[in-house]
Amino acid sequence: MDQTQADSHIDPSADIDPSAVVHPSAKIGPGTFIGAKAVIGANVQIGAGCKIQAGSIIGAAPFVTPPPETLFPVIIEDGAEIGSLCSVQFGAKGPTRIGAGSRINHHCAIGHDVDMGAGVQVGLMTTISGHSEIGERARIGPGCNLTNRSVIGHDAIVGIGSLVLHPVDGGTTVMGRPAELRDRQVAASRRLRELLDMERPSRRVTGHGNRLAQRLPPSVKLFLKRLLGKV
- The verdict on 43 and 26 lying in the same domain is yes
- The verdict on 81 and 192 lying in the same domain is no
- The verdict on 6 and 100 lying in the same domain is yes
Give the CATH number, domain containing residue 174: 2.160.10.10
Which of residues 32 and 216 earns the better pLDDT score? 32
Total domain count, the chain: 2
pLDDT of residue 54: 98
- The verdict on 128 and 206 lying in the same domain is no
Asked if 47 contacts 77 with a C-beta cutoff of 8 angstroms, the reply is yes
Listed residues 163, 178, 193: the one ending a domain: 178
Residue 222 φ then ψ, to 5°? -60, -40
Residues 6+ apart with CB under 8 A from 49: 29, 30, 31, 32, 78, 79
- The verdict on 29 and 110 lying in the same domain is yes
Asked if 189 contacts 171 with a C-beta cutoff of 8 angstroms, the reply is no
- The verdict on 96 and 191 lying in the same domain is no
Identity of residue 107: H
Q: Give the tens place of pLDDT for each residue, 169-227.
A: 999 999 998 898 866 655 555 666 666 655 554 554 455 555 666 677 777 767 766 66
pLDDT higher than threshold 80 for residue 2: no
- The verdict on 31 and 71 lying in the same domain is yes
Q: What's the pTM value of the predicted model, to 2 decimals?
A: 0.76
User: Which residue range is the domain that position 154 belongs to?
Assistant: 1-178
- The verdict on 67 and 13 lying in the same domain is yes
- The verdict on 193 and 143 lying in the same domain is no
pLDDT of residue 70: 80
Q: Give the tens place of pLDDT for each residue, 115-173.
A: 999 999 999 999 999 999 999 999 999 999 999 999 999 999 999 999 999 999 999 99
- The verdict on 126 and 28 lying in the same domain is yes
- The verdict on 40 and 79 lying in the same domain is yes
pLDDT of residue 190: 60
- The verdict on 149 and 195 lying in the same domain is no
Query: How far is Cα 179 from Cα 219, in angstroms, rounded to an integer?
Result: 31
Query: How far is Cα 76 from Cα 36, in angstroms, rounded to an integer?
Result: 18
For residue 80, count other CB atoms closer than 10 A to its CB: 26
What percent of the chain shows pLDDT beyond 70? 76
